[in-house]
Chain A
């Protein structure tokens, strides 16, 4: 008998054609997440198994809770036999550690060569437990303990409880997207939700020194670091946006500042997508939240790019977004009070129904193609990993 972790796939089971690719990706994600652990994984179409050579299953479980594409995480036992009598003996030993007054047996028999049906096995094991464990009874509706038994090709598996995984698809199975990460509450949540659907993300941040501070950038790095837990690691693209922003501020009617600025950002995001082979732009826009997020504004801004723009929180209320931000622990960082480049140069009355023709006319006033070219040329890429190296380690 060997202890091990059994992973149940979530929605993956609905995929017929691509399932192998999904599971392979999940297996890679798990191995990369657990690269510091001494483990062996193997998988088939129904289950993925993880064996730890150091028996540190609790730590591994905690790591697995940060991986998308997992429906349930189970600590179980592998028994290298299909013989019921042997299984019963081992089960009896395992039951000694469990505290229960009622139970039921739930058998899954993927090996159809076994003579007995699942229901017959349930009865057999159930009566064995009744005979051998004192003061217990069968309760199929509300048992204290469910004895799960799975009979597979050459082995069987026993387990009692499971915990929920994050669900979703393995990150990377659906390709890559560029997340416009501002430092606010919404965009990290948008990134999280995109990853949940299997999109691997890279983040894009616009900085405007001296109008924005180093602390604002640190904050974005901190947010990217939280997101990187789910993403493996995360590339953070930092665009130096000062020249573009100043050119807009000097030359364009102020009511259009934000609209034009967002159009520039979208253009840059699309170029980064092309360079990084990303298929979509992802951002934290939420319908109606601010002037640039009215439907008219969105249309006027969206017009400059051809790639799909995914807005995972578009239809969420602010409070719903905050709930998720708290759950994924980005909220505390998001509310730190540093200006980002969307909050400086804010006109008093930004236009809420921008006219597309006017946008195009105004943009002719600045050499934006050159400015964008310069910004892309000088852009900085930071590789973010979940564990920050402490800059002060040597001194503390």
Chain B
């Protein structure tokens, strides 16, 4: 199998799974129980949280466990919106967000919130002037992803934060860091809230993180806890939490070296695919090498993906969450419907080998020529 859809999900790391198994077997207590099994489970959970918060240099209480990045996004956007309803009803998002952000925004519009979409320049970066002009006294939140999931555009969060806070110091800044964590260095200090997902970083599915600065109050989406300020009541998923600490630790090691390696693979693919007439590379200088987006001008991407599957090669369209539609990111960047309707995402990992890429390129050629002949004849 040649798996090239790492931005959709990643295979769980052996060590992470071991942690999960061990925690399931040896730490079965409910961390809320008084007895020693509970205390032991709580000890593991607190140590895991401490390890994560130390790594990001934030407080333990600022790490909230969720079921994944989509839930984190919901908690952040809806939580901030409802908590600040008296201060304003205006929210700004970029045009390069994950579909879950747009769906949440649609929901917030039904509650009377007004959503603005900030432009980006031709390189994909958020247009700073446009952002400045959009921020108003009643703007309560800006949400901009750290790395776009389709084209891999990396946004300068620190600068964006400065602009936001200068225009309106009360306006909060959320970033969906799902595609950034484990690929590039991230800092929670650049933002007020951040969403992350573990299954994108060789962890388990079913757990994510919301970072929330301790000064910020959210209206909880879930109720049922006896504790104050408990945004996610219920029995904590201790094994998932322990596995997350491990996943984050392992995934954030060696980022530079991994990125250099992945960049080489990326360049190899780009060099080869540039030779095809019917292929457009959707990349700018701000794309991270882990995500490579291309448009097949003449071929339906779904057909192409299934055809590649015959060779045991797995690629992505748009993002796994919105397959079959126009790529909103490619549209936002290149404003070309045809290009946006035919995108394929090749996402790479440090686990990818040069040999895999060679085999991919060989099979790519076979499949491409076969399908291209069909449509052009």
Contact = CB atoms under 8 A, between A and B. Distances in A.
Interface residues of A, number: 9
Contacts, number: 29
B39 A392 contact: no
A392 B242 contact: yes
A131 B26 CA distance: 74
Interface in B238-257: 242, 245-246, 249
Interface in B2-53: 19, 22-23, 34, 36, 39, 43-44, 47-48, 51
B48 A392 contact: yes
A243 B102 CA distance: 65
A319 interface: no
Contacts of B34: 213
Given A213-B34, A214-B36, A395 B43 contact: no
Contacts of B242: 392, 395-396
A392 B239 CA distance: 12
Contact of B48 (A213, A214, A215, A396): A396
Contacts of B39: 213-215
B36 A392 contact: no
A200 to B, nearest CB: 30
A14 interface: no
Contact of B19 (A215, A390, A395): A395
A395 B44 contact: yes
A370 interface: no
Contact of B47 (A213, A214, A391): A391
Interface string B207-224: 000000000000000000
A391 B27 CA distance: 12
A392 B40 CA distance: 10
Interface of A is mostly: loop
A392 to B, nearest CB: 5
A250 B14 CA distance: 57
A239 B269 CA distance: 69
Interface centre among A215, A391, A392 (most CB of B within 10 A): A392
Interface in A191-228: 213-215
B245 A396 contact: yes
B43 A396 contact: no
B99 to A, nearest CB: 33
Interface string A29-71: 0000000000000000000000000000000000000000000
Interface of A: 213-215, 390-392, 394-396
Given A214-B39, A392-B48, 9 more contacts: A214-B36, A392-B47, A394-B22, A395-B242, A396-B44, A396-B48, A396-B242, A396-B245, A396-B249
Nearest 3 A/B pairs, CB to CB: A392-B47, A396-B245, A395-B19
25 contacts: A213-B34, A213-B39, A214-B36, A214-B39, A215-B39, A390-B47, A391-B43, A392-B43, A392-B44, A392-B47, A392-B48, A394-B22, A395-B19, A395-B22, A395-B23, A395-B44, A395-B246, A396-B19, A396-B47, A396-B48, A396-B51, A396-B242, A396-B245, A396-B246, A396-B249
